[in-house]
Structures are given as structure tokens and as C-alpha cells.
Chain A
Amino acid sequence: MDRFISHKVKNLAPSGIRQFFDLVLKTKDVVSLGVGEPDFAAPWRIREKAIYSLEQGYTSYTSNKGLLRLRLEIAHFLKKHYRLIYDPGEEILVTTGVSEGLDLAIRTILNPQERVILVYPCYVAYPAVVELSAGRVVPLYTSFEESFKINPEKLKELIKRYKPKAIILNYPTNPTGVSYSKEELKELWRVLSKEDLLVISDEIYDLITYNFKHTPFSTFKGAKGKTIYLGGFSKNYAMTGFRIGFACGRRELIEQMSKIHSFVMLCAPIISQLSAIEALNSQKDVESMVKEYRRRRDFIVGELNNLGFKTLLPQGTFYCFSSIKNTGLSSLEFASLLLKKVKVAVVPGEAFGLLYRDFIRVSFASPFPDLKEAILRIRKFKEQYLKN
């Protein structure tokens, strides 16, 4: 069968991590700090809207770009929340999750061999999507010492050297929980505005920001025209299973992205679209979830640092990226041993870039008692199985 599989697909994704994931999924009674989605169910009013839509018989296709009503609501939300103006008619496309938006953006802009800057550690789908489009990844590595933030000088250098077609930004960032203040983003825009490349900005965690208000990249003067802004409902509203997101950008770009979308997806599920309209009017629910994440964040980061796993305080998302350097183990070894000995699951840092073998991603999207239990187990693990 192997000969039927394309080289491109065969070469995707590191196999060691896949095996580890399979092992976690098979292990019973795991306390997991490895989950990349909220532990909350979508707020009831959103779920109720989904049920109601079904009862009313909303089971058809919608226009390719998505229900106009939803696009209007998205435009209204972006304007009210971020003073960001997008034309719902031609500059917004409703996608089946940000995953699809990302795929559409890359496929729309990339010719074979063209380059895209990815900021590492990065979400696993980015390099995969670039490679599937026969593009080439230009990695921009960030370090613990840099607080995992982009160094503008490094960015400038890479652009000069590789002439990339685009850069994918993601903030708040999976896996590090890092986000950028308005001033920090301005620095980046100062560099990017002078260059001829497109910014694809994945801001799916925008509302899960703790220390300051999130600033969409396209709010800077002149940035809107050079940015594809990707937003979603999965994380903010705990709607991962609804598979719904949106892409905003210049009319010409959105039109081309819509072309692919109309062939391969046709439209996002109508029930999810109707539910998303309700979600945009559920900000109170979001606030209370974010408040809960923040409490958990303070707890888990404090405990991890106490245990000697250096961890920066995340400014957004429900992840932190902890150093396991002093254990002398690679992140995959550490995670495997942690699972085997005390049944706690974390994601090895090397899943997000091979250079990050000294880190693990810890998700705090789990109820407080679970986090407490996990910390107890990690403490036991450290005392019994680690050298230091």
C-alpha cells in the first residue's frame, strides 16, 4: 500500500510523538495536563441555539462565504471590540475552524518552494500545512531567555536572507502561552511594514488574554492590507467540536481563499454558524471562563516553579511551557516516564520544534482538583524517579 502514499504525506509529523500520544490515549486513569481544548462545555445558550436550529430544520448548505448574518455579527464584534473594520460582504470568510482558514491562506498564497517564516516553538499544523503546499519553512527560533518572543532583529535578518512570502504569527501562543503587548507588536510591525511579505495572524486565543487587552495585528496603520487575520470560536467559547472560525483580509485574498473553500468545503456547517452568532453575544460566559483559567494559571505556574521546573507566567491561552532541563531527560523521555510512573500526561516540547527537548507543554484546561492531583503526582515523580 505504501507505494500509493505520496512522499509529501509520508514525510509529515514526527512518529515518536505519535506513538506517545497513542500510549496516552490507551492508558487508564490518566490525569491529563495534555489537552489542547477547554474542559468546559460550550455555554448553554450556545448549545441551546444549536438544538433550536436543528428543530427549526436548519440543515442546508449556506452561501460559500457563510451566512451573511454571521459575517455581519463578526464585523460588528471586531469593530466594537477592536475598532477593526472589515466589510462583511467581501472581506470575511467563515471557515470550518481556524485550521481550515490557515490551510486556505497558505494554499492561496504559496507556490512550490516559496518560503514561510514560522515562529518556534509553534503549533504543529503550521509546518505541515506549508509542506503540503510544497513550501519551505524558515524557522525563527525563540528561547526561554527571550521569553519565547520574536526578536525583531532576528526577524529582519531572516527576511533579508530568505525573502519569504509570508510569516505566520500566533498569539496568544500555543504552546508557550506567550502574548504580545501593543507596544511589542508595534515593534514587529515596524519591521514587517517595510518588507514585501504577508502576515498570517492566527489569533484563535484572543479573548483568553490575562495581562492586557489583546491587539489584533491588523489594527496597525497599513497592516490590514498585508494581513490575513484568522479568528475562531473553538477556544474562546469552548466550541472546539463545532468546527467554526473565520478569516478576514483584503477582498482579493478572501475571494481566492473562498474559491478553494467552495470546492473542498463548500461551507461551514450551518448549525455551527448559527451557534456562532449566539456565541458572539455570550461575552459574559467567556469572562467567567477566563477568570477561572487565570486562577488555575496562577496555581499551576506557582507549583511548577516550586518544583524546580522553570515556567514563565503565560499572558494568554491555557498553556504554559515548562523547562525540564535540570532533569537531564529529553522531553519525550520525561513525558513517557511521567506517564508510566505516575500517569500524568503532558505534551513533550519537541512536538512543537525539535529544539525544544528541554520543555514540556502543560495545559491547565482541567478542573482545579485535577490540577492539584497532577501536581501531587509530579511531586512524587520528582522525589522518586528524578536525580535532582
Chain B
Amino acid sequence: MEDVLKILEGNARISFEDLAKLTGEKEPELRKMVNKLEKKGVIVKYKAVINKELLPGERSVLALIEVKVSPQKDVGFDAIAERIYKFPEVKSCYLLSGTYDLLLVVEGKSIHTIADFVAEKLAPLEAVKGTVTHFMLKKYKEDGVILRKKKEIKRLTITY
């Protein structure tokens, strides 16, 4: 199973036929296994890692936002986290130890859209005690993938 996950993590679009060849398992067994993993929520979804910097035209802006919040009775951070992560602008949301509590990854069309989101949606929440916004300037590596196109190093095509 670990093998299958590892392969899917590297290439979510691999066919079951190839997956079977690589793992030595039977195709129907693999289908069953992957199905189960999907149902259990181990495999959450299949997505493409896209380097938007290479796209022509308008680019979106990403920001990391540190949020200090006051935890609430009985539910701790979960309730306030939920209120925040439900905004579609929030791409990721993590609870962290250290000097602040929540770390958000927020995407917007421009710096202004993100500033508006912080000013109008995030900061006014009662439980939010403060925010610090860092705009992302460049992405080098994401989800284990180096985004710069790799220069191909040529081996000799035939050697002993």
C-alpha cells in the first residue's frame, strides 16, 4: 500500500495497468485498494501542480497570513479555524505552535484583493487578535516538486 501511495504521490494520473506493472499487484486488487483509500480519506484528491508563473497574462497573488486568535471554550481553535478556512480565498489553513496560531495561504487577484480580504473579512472577526501578511514573491519548490524546469543532463546513450 505504501508503494502505491508513493507512486500516486509522484504521478496521480498513472493508469491502473501501469500501477499493476510497477507494483506486481493485480489490477482489480489495486482498484479496490485505491477505492478504499479514497473512501477512508487517505487519498483526499488528485491534483496537478501548476507553475502559474509561466502562464501568460494576469497572475494571481499569494500571501501567507499569520493569525493570532483567542481559543474558545470547549472547541479550542477548531471553531474559529472553521470560520476562517471556509472562505474560498483561503487555500490552506494550519494550526501551529509558536508566536501565532493559524497560518493561512490566501490567493487573490492582486495585493489589493488580499488586503481587502484581511481588512474586511479576517481582521474584524471577534476571535482574531491580530494578523501579519507576507506576500509571496517567488515559488521555488512546492509539494516536493522543484518548479524550475530542470536542465536535462545528458548521459551517453550507450556505455558498458
A interface residues (Cβ-Cβ under 8 A, vs B): 21, 24-25, 27, 30, 32, 34-37, 39, 41, 123-125, 174, 295-296, 298-299, 302-303, 345, 347, 351, 368, 372
Checking A24, A295, A372 against B158 with a beta-carbon cut-off of 8 angstroms, the contacting residue is: A24
Which chain A residue has the least Cβ–Cβ distance from B150?
A: A41
Partner of B160, one of A36, A39, A296: A36
Q: CA A30 – CA B159 in complex, angstroms?
A: 14
Are A347 and B22 within 8 A (Cβ)? Answer: no
Quick check: is B153 within 8 A (CB to CB) of the other chain? yes
Identify A368's interface contact among B22, B155, B156, B159, CB under 8 A.
B22
Question: Residue on B with the closest CB to A23?
Answer: B158
Q: Are B153 and A41 in contact (CB under 8 A)?
A: yes
> Residue B99 at the A interface, CB < 8 A?
no
Query: A35, A123, A124: which contacts B155 (Cβ < 8 A)?
Result: A35
B157 at interface (Cβ–Cβ under 8 A)? yes
Does B24 lie at the interface of the complex (its beta carbon under 8 Å from any beta carbon of A)? Answer: yes
B18 sits at the interface (CB 8 A)? yes
Which residues of the partner chain B approach A21 to less than 8 Å between Cβ atoms?
158
| CB closest residue in chain A, given B24 | A298
Closest to B153 in A: A41
B153 touches A123 (CB 8 A): no
Q: In the assembly, what is the distance between CA of A119 and CA of B41, in Å? A: 54
Q: Are A299 and B158 in contact (CB under 8 A)?
A: no
Contacts of A372 in B (CB 8 A): 18
Chain A residues closer than 8 Å to B18, beta-carbon distance: 368, 372
The bracket for how many chain B residues form the interface is 10 to 19
Residues of A within 8 A of B70 (CB): none
Q: What is the minimal beta-carbon distance from B7 to any residue of chain A, in angstroms? A: 8
**B113 interface contact, C-beta 8 A:** no
Quick check: is B51 within 8 A (CB to CB) of the other chain? no
CA distance A171 to B20 in the complex (A): 30
* CB within 8 Å of A: which B122-160 residues: 153, 155-160
A295 touches B157 (CB 8 A): no
Residue of A nearest to B158 (CB): A34
The interface residues of chain A lying within 8 Å CB-to-CB of B157 are: 24-25, 27, 30, 32, 34-35, 345
Q: Does B36 contact A (CB under 8 A)?
A: no
B92: CB under 8 A from chain A?
no
Are the C-beta atoms of B21 and A347 separated by less than 8 Å? no
- The answer to whether the Cβ of B23 comes within 8 Å of any Cβ in the partner chain is yes
B3 contact set on A, CB distance < 8 A: 295
The interface residues of chain A lying within 8 Å CB-to-CB of B21 are: 298-299, 302-303
Contact B156 A35 (CB under 8 A): yes
| Contact partners of A30 in chain B: CB under 8 A | 157
Interface centre among B21, B22, B24, B160 (most CB of A within 10 A): B160
CB-nearest residue of chain B relative to A39? B155
Question: Which listed residue, B23, B158, B160, touches A32 by the CB 8 Å rule?
Answer: B158
CA distance A98 to B3 in the complex (A): 33
Compute how far the CA of A347 lies from the CA of B157 in the bound complex, rounded to whole angstroms.
Answer: 11
Pair B22/A299 contact, Cβ less than 8 Å? yes
Q: Lowest 8 CB-CB distances: which A-B pairs, in order?
A: A34-B158, A36-B159, A32-B157, A24-B158, A299-B21, A295-B22, A124-B160, A36-B160
CA distance A34 to B159 in the complex (A): 6
Q: Which residues of A have CB within 8 Å of B153? A: 41
Give CA–CA (A345, B159) in the complex, Å.
10
Contact present for B156 and A347 (CB under 8 Å): no
User: Are the CB atoms of A35 and B159 closer together than 8 Å?
Assistant: yes
Cβ-defined contact, B23 with A295, below 8 A: yes
Can you list 30 A-B pairs, Cβ within 8 angstroms, ordered by A? Answer: A21-B158, A24-B158, A25-B156, A25-B157, A32-B158, A34-B157, A34-B159, A35-B155, A35-B157, A36-B159, A36-B160, A37-B155, A37-B159, A41-B153, A123-B160, A174-B160, A295-B23, A296-B22, A298-B21, A298-B22, A298-B24, A299-B22, A302-B21, A303-B21, A345-B158, A347-B158, A347-B160, A351-B160, A368-B18, A372-B18
**What residues of B have a CB within 8 angstroms of the CB of A298 in the complex?**
21-22, 24
Most buried by A among B3, B18, B156, B159: B159
Per the 8 Å Cβ criterion, residues 73-127 of B in contact with A are: none
Closest B-chain residue to A303, C-beta based?
Answer: B21
B158 touches A25 (CB 8 A): yes
Assembled-state Cα–Cα distance A302/B17 (Å): 13
Q: How far is the CA of A345 from the CA of B156 in the complex (A)?
A: 11
Cβ proximity bits B32-65 to A, threshold 8 Å, 1 near / 0 not: 0000000000000000000000000000000000
Q: Which residues of A contact B159 (CB under 8 A)?
A: 34-37
Q: What separation, in Å, do the CA atoms of A368 and B11 have in the docked complex?
A: 11
* Residues of the B chain whose Cβ atoms lie less than 8 Å from the Cβ of A41: 153
Given contacts A21-B158, A34-B158, 18 further A-B contacts (CB under 8 A): A25-B156, A25-B157, A27-B157, A30-B157, A35-B155, A35-B157, A35-B159, A123-B160, A125-B160, A174-B160, A298-B21, A298-B24, A299-B21, A302-B21, A345-B157, A345-B158, A368-B22, A372-B18
